[in-house]
Structure 1
Amino acid sequence: MNIDKRHLLNLSILIPYLMLSVIGLIMVYSTTSANLIREGSNPFYQVINQSLFWIVSLAAIFVIYRMKLSFLRQAKVIQVVLIVEVALLVISRFFEPVNGAHGWIRFGFIGLQPAEYLKLIIVWYLAHKFARMQPEIRTYDYRALTKGRWIPNHLNDWRLVSLLFIALVGTLPDLGNATILALTVVIMISVSGIGYRWFSTILLAIVAGSTALLGSIWALGVEVVEKIPVFGYIARRFSAFFNPFENETGAGLQLANSYYAMSNGGWLGRGLGNSIEKNGYLPEAHTDFAFSIVIEELGLVGASLILALLFFLILRIIIVGIRARNPFNAMMALGIGGMLLIQTFVNVGGISGLIPATGVTFPFLSQGGNSLLIISIGIAFVLNIDANEKRVLLVEEIERTMT
């Protein structure tokens, strides 16, 4: 039956997305305009750039929402996307590093960040793989994912593909996105249909491994880790995590000033545009530490309302996944919701000192067109999935009524 998708649009996801996007544009202007004015540049430059990405994002949402999900499930389409992503990650190694990581491909004022796109691609790929394995998973549980082998022995093994991408991103080196990728893979494994006890085991292993890593770095000393090739800048971030005020003008500069920003904000904030720390004191105030400026300007109350709106959006996405009857649809929605939740946790944890800073942007509020675009594409996937699930239920209800 021909049911127009326009009538099946999930406004409880679209409206929070639009609200957060607009708030994000406002905060991008607030966090970037002061530095641009000091440089003698157009104060609207970054917000215009972000707005252009948002326009492209809205167009992408419209196109993807109208697409048939059967096209997105085709193995050849996913294979082409994976090959292109590998090529982009390799090419990015030949461009100048940004903040110590070779994660950007730049053509004039346009920049692509392949690692950002990979976060959604890995969800898409694993949802496709695990959906095709559902009969085996129902019968053999986790053994269906490993095929009885703990070590992958062919190139099409999802574990080998996942490890390859995480390794490529980690050697850029981009610790933040590599961490998000690894945790996203864990989420996809957890929602694949295996027994819940495996999720508990994996979670315990992650906590134990993270504790052991931090303990080892603390015991050996950051100076030892800093001598390891490529990972020197990561060691400096661990140094800031252990004691940001010990080297407040060096490794601890960002985290210490992030604390100052949050302290300045208090309950109600200094007012929109009135941040002190963004005026040259807090590096990356418009990207990694944008939420610190949000707290300084809007206070704990304003920042909490934005977090609540973001968590509401994530919850609605997860609910779509829980309600979906098609395995691919369910895992795509749950993976996208989990990816957003992880990115939020990693960013807020980094700016507050709960975990080492990883250079991960805050969804919507940080300046970064690539991040906004990939979030928008993820939202488009979920809207399409929700509409298709509703259509199937509606058709079944109509058929029952007619019979």
Structure 2
Amino acid sequence: MIKNRKIDLVILVPYFILSVIGLLEIYSASSYRLMVTDEYSLSLLYRQFIFIIISLTIIGVTFFIKLEYLLHPLFIKGGLIVSFLLLIMVKVGFFAVTVNGAQRWISIGGLQFQPSEIIVIFLILYLASYFKNKNITNVKLTKPFIITGLATGLVLLQPKISGAFMIIVIVAVIIWAAAIPVEKGIMGIGLFLMGIILIASIVLILGENNLLPTFFSHAYNRISIVHNPFLDEHGYGYQMANSYYALYNGGFLGLGLGNSLTKQGYLPEAETDFIFSIISEELGLLGAIFVLFLIFVVCLRIFQKSIQCKDQQLSLVLIGFGTLILIQSSINVASVLGLIPMTGVPLPFVSYGGTSYLILSFALGICLNIISRKNLYLLKE
């Protein structure tokens, strides 16, 4: 019964704090740029606030709806089909939207979003459903690998290497968590990767004017300067070099909220992919660690409950969503720190943007729904 269920504050409170920090930093990071371009300085703040309200509504609805509906095969299959159609629409000129040279967005009714972030959710739900109550010694991986391979290939062709990498990692973690035999899992993942590379190569090499160099030139340029962005400080290394300046300026305690220097035209669109740089500059190392701590608390709590959960499907759902939040956070922070090339992956619940925030909130709502059901656990708190 609903009256016997309690929402997990260990997840909800950090989520709310992260959202508030993100809201303040989005305003701080964007206000100068908007004023310079004669736009309303509070516009992105208001938009993100609307996203937060909608996301809280989504969490509430997802929390109270029956799990049987959220995990129903028809809902999962329908979501997969729609997600694949949306990924295909990315390459259709009428719907496609190109941003910074990448064609990853579509626009429907004036609403822009990235389908690659939607399909990850339904892939996790599908894999959790597929591996539930399976005989792990005889389980066949052909069907799930075909589906995930197609999804990864379509994401890779956008091109969005970071999105394809996230899918591969999540699939590998779910296979491991489902206790699939090691040799079968390794062989399956190997064939899966080879198939993606082969399909992508054929499409790009045989495509018009040999698209392979053109498609991934941005990735090569970013990789070539990741070891030292100051070699091309005013070119491909511009954003990463200024991200370093922001990290250096912040020091231990930061310059203070609103006092970032790099947001003043040095770090383009700092409210999205490089929001962590602005947080580090304004709130310092302590503030940056606090933000990462909050994200870690959310992930750790989800993983803890997945271990305690006695239902195989629900446990895999929790592991999948926890991995999604963790890997997305890791990729964002690693790119800001220069450990990997810039990826365009937002920081969960902090960066500006509707698609990622709404989708991750939907996933968090499912997690809270599962966690609230005390009868599903082997261990009691």
Please give the TM-score of this superposition, normalised by the length of structure 1. Answer: 0.83
Q: Distance in 2 between matches of 1:73 and 1:336?
A: 14
Describe how 1:162-241 pairs up with structure 2 within 5 A. 162-195=148-181, 228-241=213-226
Deviations 1:208-260 (A, max 9, x none): x9xxxxxxxxxxxxxxx997131111111112213311111111111111111
- Compute the displacement of 1:57 (Å): 0.9
Mapped pair 1:112 → 2:113: yes
Cα deviation for residue 195 of structure 1 reads: 4.9
After superposition, what is the alpha-carbon deviation per residue over 1:188-216, rounded to whole angstroms, capped at 9, x for unaligned?
111112357888x69x98xxx9xxxxxxx
Distance 2:165 2:264 in 1: 30
Q: CA deviation at 1:357?
A: 1.6
Question: What stretches of structure 2 of length at least 5 have no aligned partner?
Answer: 195-209
Paired letter, 1:96? V
In 1, are the aligned partners of 2:230 and 2:241 still within 8 Å (CA)? yes
Residue equivalent to 2:36: 38
Match of 1:149 in 2: none
Deviation per CA, 1:287-306, whole angstroms, max 9, x where unpaired? Answer: 11110111011100111111
Matched AA of 2:126:
Y
| Residue equivalent to 1:401 | none
Match of 2:3?
A: 4
SS in 1 for 2:14: helix
Stretch deviating more after TM superposition (250-259 or 240-249): 240-249
Distance 1:161 1:264 in 2: 46
Structure 2 CA distance for aligned equivalents of residues 310 and 393 of structure 1: 24
The 5 A counterparts of 1:1-400 are 2=1, 4-5=3-4, 7-93=5-91, 94=93, 95-107=96-108, 110-131=111-132, 134-137=133-136, 140=137, 144-146=139-141, 152=142, 157-195=143-181, 228-388=213-373, 390-392=374-376
Cα distance in 2 between the residues matched to 1:70 and 1:344:
30
Identify the residue that residue 216 of structure 1 maps to in structure 2: none
Aligned-pair identity (%)? 38
| CA shift in 2, pair 1:393/1:194, >3 Å | closer
Cα distance in structure 2, aligned partners of 1:104 and 1:227:
21
Q: Could you tell me which amino acid in structure 2 is paired with residue 30 of structure 1?
A: S
SS of the residue corresponding to residue 215 of structure 2 reads coil
- AA of the residue aligned to 2:368: L
Moved over 6 A (4+): 196-199
Q: Using the alignment, how far apart are the partners of 2:147 and 2:296 within structure 1?
A: 30
For 2:250, the aligned partner's letter is G
CA distance in structure 1 between the aligned counterparts of 2:71 and 2:256, rounded to whole angstroms: 47
What CA deviation, in whole Å up to 9, does each residue of 1:257-307 have, x standing for no partner? 111110111101111111111111112311111101110111001111111
Check conservation: 1:294, 1:303, Cα contact below 8 A. yes
Distance 1:163 1:269 in 2: 44
TM-score, length basis structure 2: 0.88
How many residues end up aligned between the 2 structures?
358
- Give 2:365's aligned amino acid: A
Deviation at 1:100, TM superposition (A): 2.3
**Paired residues of 2:246 and 2:262 also in contact (CA < 8 A):** yes
Alignment gaps of 5+ in structure 1: 147-151, 210-224, 398-403
TM-superposed deviation, 1:108: 6.8
Cα deviation 1:109-158 (Å, max 9, x = unaligned): 53121111122222111111111xx3411xx1xx5243xxxxx4xxxx01
- The two structures, once aligned, show a CA RMSD in angstroms of 2.4
Distance 2:214 2:249 in 1: 38
Paired residue type of 2:100:
N
Contact 1:116 1:374 in 2 (8 A): yes
Alpha carbons 1:192, 1:331 under 8 Å: kept: yes
Q: CA deviation at 1:54?
A: 1.3
**Conserved? CA contact 2:29–2:271, under 8 Å:** yes
1:3–1:283 Cα change, 3 Å: closer
DSSP-derived class of the 2:214 partner? coil
Contact 1:27 1:294 in 2 (8 A): yes
